[in-house]
Every structure is written in structure tokens, then in C-alpha cells.
A and B are shown apart, each in its own frame.
Chain A
Amino acid sequence: MTKLNTFRSGVDETGHFGIYGGRFVAETLMPLILDVEKAWEEARHDDDFWAEFDYLMKHYVGRPSPLYFAERLTEQFGGAKVYFKRDELNHTGAHKINNTIGQILLARRMGKKRIIAETGAGQHGVATATVCALFGMPCVVYMGETDVERQKPNVFRMRLLGAEIVPVTAGTGTLKDAMNEALRDWVANVEETFYIIGTAAGPHPYPAMVRDFQCIIGNETREQMQEMEGRLPDTLVAAIGGGSNAIGLFHPFLDDDSVNIIGVEAAGHGIESGEHCASLNGGRPGVLHGNRTYLLQDEDGQIKDGYSISAGLDYPGIGPEHAWLRDIGRVEYVSATDVEALEAFKLCTAKEGIIPALEPCHALAYVSKIAPDLPKDHLIVMNMCGRGDKDIFAVAERFGFDM
């Protein structure tokens, strides 16, 4: 591991984490990106901004989310003590709302009148449509045609919340194409529109900004673990799509040498099958969607589609801070397959009475591998970043259950 004084100094003034990140956008957008950066710099040093954020986190989102000792799973694994950080209990059922609240506060501060977003699983779309309803702003959500088909309940939720859903047929009709389309909308509507990106990726300042909003997860965990166990956790585990829930949990602990940190990518049918969305484990550095990061791509630099049973992990890239943390060795990145995630889904539901989203099931699958061999006083925190309501149709199909 590269030894640094701090792993938390964030991003440099040109928007890079090491060689990753940056601002690879068209000139039409560049002035806007600089505006967002300037507004964010001001907002993040403004106590009033954070006071409003904290108020909404507490009274609207329902934070702090509990840190829960998963006693029956701990028993089942027979090793480390497993805790869940229960962000699935947030309003709208995932960690995504932490970020959308933060960004819409910034959008309003900048005087923007219209919100756009991309979504894969629909969780970020729902979280965006929700805050748009709350703040009375029109909302347009871009969603790949394939995802519109496989995430019908969330599509309906977004419509109920007043959002306009634009099914994206361009490219291959999945999350990356939805993001392309959102960027195209932004280029065409620069003055009045704010783009709420759903993960810790995209051009600077998005990766750092989204992380700062999601850090509420890790900051609470620190305090709660102190209360419950009187010390820091030993291992943190989180699922990685674009990396926002993971960086939110990890970042406050990056400088604590004793804390072992693990991100779990989706291996789909297995890394060797080529059908996965593990950018760090099966991709290489490239430039897409405004940043340099690890990407799934072919030898000509054409971007490949990701595959996972979990629509929320199905992105061919990853936030640039993770790319950097991987290269310097501070965080370990592993993967879990569809089958392993489904096993974890069943286990969690049966043992804990918690129906998890398929995304954190990937994290749990990895916990189930390492927990048995760890000592009983080893403390693992896994980010339960979403609830499974949205996934019951996909899971029913896999289990051959006719809804």
C-alpha cells in the first residue's frame, strides 16, 4: 500500500484523484461545470447550507439510520460480529436520497429551475423525483429502455411523483446510455437545468460532492460503533455500482489504518464469462462521462455494456476516487456473482427478516465468505444500502415463482 499522510485530502484543484477524475466534457458544458464547482465550493463552507441538509436528513429522510447488530447471521457465520448500516430504512428505501437532497439544495441555491437525472435501477430516479416533488421543480429522468422494462414499479413511482420518464433507446438502452442522454439534455438546456448525477462519478466536482453528501453514512457509523462497541470497526464492506454508497461509508475511515476496507463489485455470470460489471476487476482505465476511471471496454476503446442481475450495479465505470484507492492499495476490491448475491438475498431474508436490495446482497455475499474465518471479536460493518421491494419481481423470476 502507498503510504500517505492522509487518504482524505479529497480531490486536487484540477479535479483529479491521482490520474483519475478530471473534467472531460464538451465546451458547451464546461462553463456550467465550472459554475457548479464554484457554487459547491461556496456551499460546502456555508453552515446554513449544511444546517438545512441536516434538518432534512433528520426529519425527512429519517436519519440517523440504525447500526444494527445482525445477531442471527453472526451466529450462522460463526465468526466475526456482523453489523448492518441500515440505509435501506431511509425514505425511498436506499442511500440515494442523501445525495439528491444535497444536490437539489445546491440547484436551488444556483437558481436552477429544472432537474434532470439518469437512473438504472430506478432508485436514484425515485430519489430525484421525490426531492423534485418536495422542492416543486420539474424533473426529467432518463432511463434505458431495457431498465424501464425490468424496473416497472419504480417507473410508476417516479410518474406518481410527477417526473417525466424518457426511455432511452440510443446505444444499448441501459444506464450508460441514460447518462449519455442526460448529458445531451444538459448540453441543450444549460442555463436553467441542473443535472443531479446519481453516483460518485462524472466530471469534477461531482465525484467529490456526491461523496461529501454520502459521508453521512460513514460519519454516523463511526459514532454509533463507538457507542455500541466503544471502538472502531475492523472491516467495512459495501457494494459498488458507481461507488457512492461505498465511498460514503469508507471515506471517514480511510485514515484509520486499523480499518480494513473492502468494495464488492458485481461479477454477474463470473468475471471470466465477460458478462459482469466489475470495472476494477475486469476493466482498465479510460475516459467516459467526464472522468478518467476504470471502464469496461474493448481493445479499440469502445465501451462495453455491464451485466448484473442487479440493475443498480450495471454500470461499465466506477467513481474515480475508487480507481485511485485501488491503485494505491488503500481499499481492496473484490466481486460477487449473481448466484452468490441471490444466496445472500435468501439468507438475509430468512435469518434477519430483512429483504435486501440485490445491490447490498453482493456485499453480504462477500461477508458470508470472510466472516466465518474471522475471530468473534472482529467487527464487520456492511452497508445495507437499499431495500429489496424493487427487486422482488426479478428475484421471483429467478426462483421460478409466478407473480
Chain B
Amino acid sequence: MSKQPETRIAKRFKKLQDEGRPGFVTFTTAGDPDLETSVRILNGLADAGADLIEIGVPFSDPMADGPAIQASSLRAIKGGMSLRKTLGIVADYRKKDDETPIVLMGYYNPIYIYGVDVFLADAKKAGVDGLIVVDLPPEEEAELCLPALDAGINFIYLTAPTTTDARLPRVLEHASGFVYFVSITGITGTRSAVTADVAGHVGRIRAKTDLPVAVGFGIRTPEQAAEIASVADAAVVGSALVDQITANLDDNGKPGPGTVDAVLGLVKSLAEGVRGARKTEKAS
């Protein structure tokens, strides 16, 4: 394993471990449905129970995402959101909360166009702790993963049900922060995993790393979140939150007055679900 940048992520997982409970991770897209609303949602996430915050960086061609997150990405781009502005949102957020870890999730091209070195410097300065870049597998680690580790930012690898035991060590070689297990072979927001299968895969991963394992893709309800969290270190919910935003848009695509409360209300009940989950002991 390569060197592990010390970020808010490790501290947060340590705290969760001390409390003996799994964590709850939210995903929303920067600038969705508009800048102001997305910032209000972001500002309320930690109080509503998010232990770690993933912020989606909108991209025109989100290949691994289903219709909900695709649409949220396009709404954000239409409203003028960009990677630069996303970093601005993080920097503003850090003035109020310097503890909740923030992970940017997205695709490589906006970062490549921004310029990798400048981006990493700006992201570190803004208070970003980790990166999840869907289209950068370990085969392309020289692009961003290794420079990110040098810059003191965690690079979080995705593992999938298709990642065989033989391949896992390759994926985990430079993994840091936590490992994100994609619980289904599919795109976001389409179907849900069977908990027993997830437990098996999480066990495979834990056998090969000490990093925490978060599970996402397909978790929609507090019950599912509790179930999945009971077999992992954290549960991630994205599409269900984005769907709350979508459901509160009027015919002109403008968010209704209840949008922020609706999203944060769901975050609250999901977080309660996760907090109620009994965490299983680490198997290793």
C-alpha cells in the first residue's frame, strides 16, 4: 500500500469506529437544481446526519450514471456550474464546517481540462479530502491518483462485483481514504443489491485491506441503508436524494419552496436508519 494522505476522512472513520456505528454518506450534485438551492442543501447535510459528503461535479457525459443523476448533471451545467465553481462551493463550506470530510465525485475530463496540478492545488486549498473519478481505473493511475496522493488528497477507488479476487490487489494498491464498493453491476439509481451478496463482497475486500469500505449504488430507503450499513463501514445514498430534488421541481424546472426540507428530511431518516444499524465486527 502506498502512503496515505492524512485527511478528514481517516479522522471521521476513526470517530465512527469509536462510536461503534457505521457511517452515512450523501451524494448530491453541485449546482443542482441551482447554485443557491444546492448550497442550502449542502449546508444542512451534516446536521441532518451525513457523516461524509460526496459532491458530484457535473459532466455532460456521465457514463456510469442513470437517468436521475444524468438529469441532475445537465441541470447543473445549464445553470452554469463548473469544476471551478464547485471548488468555490467547497471553500465557502469550509468556513463553517472544518470537520466533515468532502469528496468530489465525477469524471476525468473536467479535471484534465482544468489541469491536474493546478486542480489538485486548488482542491487541497478549498478543503477537498478525496476524489472519486469514475473513469480512472488503476490502469490509468498515473493520470491523477498518484499526483493526488502527492498533493495530500485521498484517491478513492471503486470496486465492483466484477472485480475478481485476482484483480483486487491491483485496485487496492494505491487506494486511500476508503474503498467504495459499487454494489450492483449497473449504473446509479437503477436497481438494488441483495444484502447477502454485498456482505460477501465486502468480506472479500476487507480480507485484503484495512481501509473502511463504503457501499453505494441502489440504496434508497432507511431500511435498505440500515441493512447495507450493518455489513459495511458506511452506506452511500445518491439517486434517492436527487430524486427528491426532481420531485420538487415545477414545470419550469424551478425548485419549489419545500425542496431543501424534502431532501434534508430524507437525509435525516436515512441517517437514522444507518445509525440504528448494528455494525458487524470487522472480519479480518
* Chain A residues in the interface with B (C-beta under 8 A): 14-15, 22-32, 170-171, 176-177, 180, 183-184, 187-191, 286-290, 292, 295, 297, 299-303
Contact = CB atoms under 8 A, between A and B. Distances in A.
Contacts of A189: 185
B113 A301 contact: yes
Contacts of B17: none
Count chain A CB atoms within 10 A of each CB in B60, B159, B163 and give the residue with the most. B60
Interface string B55-68: 00001111110110
Contacts of B84: 300
B82 interface: yes
Given A289-B63, A292-B112, 20 more contacts: A26-B63, A26-B135, A26-B137, A27-B163, A30-B167, A31-B167, A171-B61, A176-B61, A184-B66, A187-B186, A189-B185, A287-B112, A297-B113, A300-B83, A300-B110, A300-B113, A301-B110, A301-B112, A301-B113, A301-B114
29 contacts: A14-B139, A22-B139, A23-B140, A24-B135, A26-B63, A26-B64, A26-B134, A26-B160, A27-B157, A28-B64, A30-B137, A31-B164, A31-B167, A170-B67, A170-B70, A177-B61, A180-B63, A184-B64, A187-B63, A187-B186, A188-B187, A188-B190, A286-B112, A289-B63, A300-B113, A301-B59, A301-B113, A302-B77, A303-B60
Given A25-B135, A25-B137, A32-B162, A288 B61 contact: yes
Nearest to A284: B113
A19 B137 CA distance: 17
Contact of B137 (A27, A190, A191, A301): A27
B89 interface: no
Contacts of A187: 63-64, 185-187
A287 B182 contact: no
Count chain B CB atoms within 10 A of each CB in A27, A30, A183, A190 and give the residue with the most. A27
Given A176-B61, A183-B63, A184-B64, A28 B182 contact: yes
A135 B280 CA distance: 50
Given A27-B157, A184-B64, A301 B109 contact: yes
Contact of B63 (A184, A292, A297, A299): A184
Contact of A301 (B83, B162, B163, B190): B83
Nearest to A172: B60
A290 B161 CA distance: 20
Contacts of B187: 184, 187-188
A250 to B, nearest CB: 27
A190 B162 contact: yes
B114 A287 contact: no
Contacts of B160: 26-28
B139 A30 contact: yes
Given A25-B135, A26-B135, A288 B164 contact: no
A165 to B, nearest CB: 19
A288 B62 CA distance: 10
B64 to A, nearest CB: 5
A158 to B, nearest CB: 23
A279 to B, nearest CB: 14
A190 B61 CA distance: 20
A286 B63 CA distance: 15
A184 B68 CA distance: 14
A184 B139 CA distance: 20
B124 to A, nearest CB: 20
Contacts of A302: 59-60, 77, 110
Top 6 A-B residue pairs of the complex, sorted by shortest distance between their CB atoms: A301-B113, A301-B110, A188-B186, A28-B160, A302-B60, A300-B82
B128 interface: no
Contacts of B61: 171, 176-177, 180, 288-289, 303
Contacts of A170: 67, 70
Nearest to B135: A24
Contacts of B83: 300-301
B82 A27 contact: no
Nearest to B110: A301
Contacts of A176: 61
Nearest to A183: B63
A303 B109 contact: yes
A287 B162 contact: no
A22 B111 CA distance: 17
Nearest to B82: A300
Contact of B185 (A15, A190, A292, A295): A190
A303 to B, nearest CB: 5
